[in-house]
Structure 1
Amino acid sequence: MHVKTEKLPDDKSTVDPSFTISLIRKLVPQGPDVDKELSVKQGRTEEKDASSDVGEPKQPHDKDLWDNEGCKLWDLSVIEPQAELMVNNLVLEVLLANLHVRQFLRAKEICIGIIGNLACHKSLANAITSHNGLIATVVDQLFLDDPGCLTETFRLLSTIFQSNASMSWAEALLPDEILSRIMWIIGNTVHATLLQKILEFLSALVDDQDVITILIEPLIKVGLVDCAIGLLLNELEKSMDGNNLDRSDSLDSILRLIEELSAIDNCSKVMSSNDQLIKALSNIVKLPDKFEVEGYCASVVIIIANVLSDGEHLTPILSHDLPLLEGLFDILPLISDDNEARNAFWCILTRLLQQVEGETITNSSKLEQFVSIFLAKFTLMKDDIERHGIQTEADSSVEGVSLKNGLRTSLKAICSITERWIADKSSLGKEDASLTENTIENAKELLTFCRRAMGIADL
């Protein structure tokens, strides 16, 4: 039976404090242990009859109670003055008591959801963290098998890891059984909202330098990197339709997580040895319709650059993957305004072309394949350098210097390979049927531009 309840006003900031306090009181579970805990917090000393009911309170409409009063309190907890009022009136004690004694999962979900809202307020993050037993109780909820409860738990953890109270929570997650449980949830959930909240939690965790310092090794130990790669492969399998990749919020979040992990040395080393990851990233780069995956391109390029820095064995393999090289050039205009991704592109190109330049290529057709790509993508390179070259020279930051060096080294390699190709053609002493005068002129134009760009870089 639906129970008619009082509606909240549109302007929730005008809610009378007594109404909010009454909601808290309605959610107080019954039983001697709970009453004793609340009495101590309130400074009361009266004892309850030992014969009182223990455990679940005998309330006729428990579901209605939580779907109405509980959800009202959940709504009000997003307003900072109301949230502070709640904390000052023992809401944390009431919520923890319910988490301890309730078996009704919807009640647990609402309790964790309210705490998650309270944690969003900077003024309350420390109070929540220092509340006796709260961290342990919240972490215990990770062992529930209910998607709603887990979603709210990870939302709460994500919020906490974006506050200045994160270290205490990080230490609570350190035990292998807890981190292993998190990995198990990641690898087994089919609930889209839960997965999204887990990814937000992991991203917030990785972004906190102090937290990741103590958690990264334990996380690697329980398989975080392989778990993230598994998520990527599964999402790509679901999203891939022939040569097209459907847009997916989950895929975007997964790629961003892997991007963040790839910036951590120990993680990038693990990634560099995962052939499936390298193949998956290469396949995205090679997709013909780049505009369909434009949102993913920056992450993919950054991941490849980070992995190559720790996976030197990959460079000889990828340097002769011509479709990959073509795909990278096609991505350039899509990431040209993203400084980090653009820097990553030129770093990748430097590694690949230096490998080619350092090899003795005696196969004339192989040389011609590389030069053909340079000529076909010349306009893309030229547009990028002309748009950002001067800005790059003015940037004296570490990233700016790295980009400048990557540009110069890549252009030098392009010149070297192109000059070798022209010299090879000249040494043949005969007309190559596939070579036209126009091709030679285009190659010379490419050389002129590259040399001129390098000359500007030297000023």
Structure 2
Amino acid sequence: MDEEEEEGDEDEEDAPTHLPFAPAEEESLEETTTVDPSYTISLIRQLIPNGSSVEKEFSDKQGLPEERSVGRKDQLEECGCILWDLAASEPQAELMINNLVIEVLLENLRTANSSRVKEICLGIMGNLACHESVVAAISLKKGLIATVVEQLFLDDVKCLSETFRLLAAILRSSAFVSWAEALLPDEILSRILRIVGKTDNSTLLEKIIDFLSTVIDNRDVIAMLIQPLLKLGLVDRVIGLLTTELERSPDEKLDRSGSLDLVLHFMEELSVIHCVSKAMTSNDRLIKVLVNMIKSPDKVEVASYCASVVIVISNILTDGKHLVPMISRDLPFLEGLLEVLPEVPDDDQARYALWSILSRVLAQVQGTELNSLSLDRFASLFSGKFGLIKDDLESQVVDEEKLTPEDALLKGWISRCVSFKTIYTSCPSWKSRS
């Protein structure tokens, strides 16, 4: 988002950030479950907008609201933040739902001019949505889904972060269908992708990637949304995120140390989806970026960085066999790939992915007539890095009687690698160089 957009209105710039954690299933919530119900209800009262229709509805249900103090804005924020915390408790969430909290929050989202008020209301909803017992009541409230989706068009970073957190929580619940349908229009998905491409805020980046990962994890939701997202440029937006993080200065990278890993892990998730992987194979920009990351002399500094890149490349090659000849001729890439071996000894997924890439490369080289110079260069590289391969073999002893399908496949890849070493170190052109 633009710097001006991130700052928001001047009068809200110094507002304290209140980001309570979403409720954990096993978390002890004794303090919140023993709160006097009348206290919770009085807090909801303080959030009712003056003169709103919900004010009369609440009065009919609970009696006349208490007189409010002069510092309305401060009081609203204080009460809202307490409710935000209380909403992490399921009994409190149910009490709040039964006492018109959704109606109050919805009215504030519709009428409030303050971004801070909207952020608090969205935060409360986000915690409420974590409880399966109340998601149906939230989703069935007339006009609520459309109003929440409208918040995606705000330019306030904190509001957007809470909107994506709320959407992720809902899509993980049993009430996901109506919410996923509300996201289908092109203008909504385009706005989401625009935020992906523009955000420079690490918290918002975390929330939007969590939202998109939730979309991917739900088979029904991804079936509805993946083709529209691809059509609107999902792959290009994610590549933009990756290149932006790579191009940051060393100081910026230090401040945002988790952002690159976050983007790469999300690319892993995407590359597993067949139609996305297929789209990735035709994106020359992505292939170039990933190959250059493996070539980078700095890659071994972060093991998770190496693992994710290798996994993404391997997944792409599954649908992009036409790319194998190109990477087979790129000796600096192959050298970098072999240097990754010591960085992923305990990451089975990354290790399988790396051997899969090498296996495809070796098969390509063995099936291609190379001139003497090219062959010698390839054999020289391979022989020079064979110590890394030997160390990897010795560190991964496999019980022959307990071979998993993955282990059997890995054994086949290693055998091909070893046979290549034997063949080409014994060929005449190689001997002449020894």
TM bracket (short chain): 0.7 to 0.9
CA contact (8 A) 1:247 1:292 kept: no
> Aligned with 1:238: secondary structure?
coil
Residues 270 and 116 of structure 1: CA distance in aligned 2, closer, same or farther (over 3 Å): same
Structure 2 unpaired stretches of 5+: 1-28
Over the matched positions of the two proteins, sequence identity in percent amounts to 53
Which residue pairs with 2:377 in the alignment? 369
Quote the residue 2:247 is aligned against.
237
Which residue of the other structure, out of 241, 259, 276, is the alignment partner of 2:285?
A: 276
- Residues in 2 aligned to 1:314 and 1:396: alpha-carbon distance in whole angstroms: 29
Say whether the 8 Å CA contact 1:112–1:153 is kept in structure 2.
yes
For residues 187 and 60 of structure 1, the distance between their equivalents in structure 2, rounded to whole angstroms, comes to 42
Please give the alpha-carbon distance, in whole angstroms, between the structure 1 residues aligned to 2:144 and 2:314: 42
- Label 1:65 to 1:112 Cα distance change in 2 as closer, same or farther (>3 A): same
Query: Is the alpha carbon distance of 1:256 and 1:32 closer, same or farther for their aligned partners in structure 2, counting shifts above 3 Å?
Result: closer
Q: CA deviation at 1:247?
A: 7.0
Whether 1:23 and 2:76 are equivalent positions in the alignment is: no
Task: Quote how far apart the aligned CAs of 1:116 are.
Answer: 0.4
Which structure has more relative contact order (CA 8 Å, sep 6+)? It is 2
- Aligned with residue 154 of structure 2, among 119, 144, 147: 144
TM-score normalized with structure 1 length: 0.80
- My pick for the range that moved more, 142-151 or 371-380, is 371-380
d(CA) in 2 for partners of 1:247 and 1:33? Answer: 45
Q: Does 1:98 align with 2:118?
A: no
| CA gap 1:133/1:31 in 2 versus in 1, 3 angstroms | same
1:412 maps to 2:416: yes
The answer to whether structure 1 residue 263 and structure 2 residue 267 are counterparts is: no
Aligned-residue offset at 1:38: 4.8
Once the two structures are TM-superposed, the CA of residue 117 in structure 1 deviates from its matched residue by 0.9
CA distance in 2, matches of 1:341, 1:408: 17
Q: Does 1:185 align with 2:200?
A: no
1:226 matched to which residue of 2?
236
The yes-or-no answer on 1:67 pairing with 2:71 is no
Gaps of 5+ in 1: 1-8, 47-56, 436-459
Give the TM-score, by structure 2 length: 0.85
Q: Does 1:394 align with 2:402?
A: yes
Query: AA paired with 1:182?
Result: I
What is the Cα-based RMSD across aligned positions, in Å? 2.9
Moved over 4 A (4+): 36-40, 57-60, 244-247
Distance in 1 separating the partners of 2:277 and 2:241: 17
Q: How far apart, in 1, do the equivalents of 2:68 and 2:38 lie?
A: 25
Distance 1:389 1:211 in 2: 41
Contact 1:354–1:413 (8 Å) recurs in 2: no
* Residues 326-385 of structure 1: CA deviation (Å, up to 9, x unaligned): 11112122222222211111111111111111011231x332322233333323223333
Q: Per the alignment, do residues 150 and 216 of structure 1 end up closer, same or farther by CA in structure 2, a change over 3 Å counting?
A: same
Distance 1:423 1:170, change over 3 A: same
More displaced 10-residue stretch of structure 1: 285-294 or 304-313? 285-294
Deviation at 1:396, TM superposition (A): 3.5
Map residues 157-196 of structure 1 onto 2, 5 A cutoff: 157-196=167-206
What count of residue pairs does the alignment treat as equivalent?
403
Letter in 2 for 1:72: I
Cα distance between partner residues in 2 of 1:246 and 1:349: 35
Match of 1:87 among 73, 97, 119: 97
Q: Is the 8 A contact 1:393 1:404 kept in 2?
A: no
Q: Does 1:303 align with 2:312?
A: yes
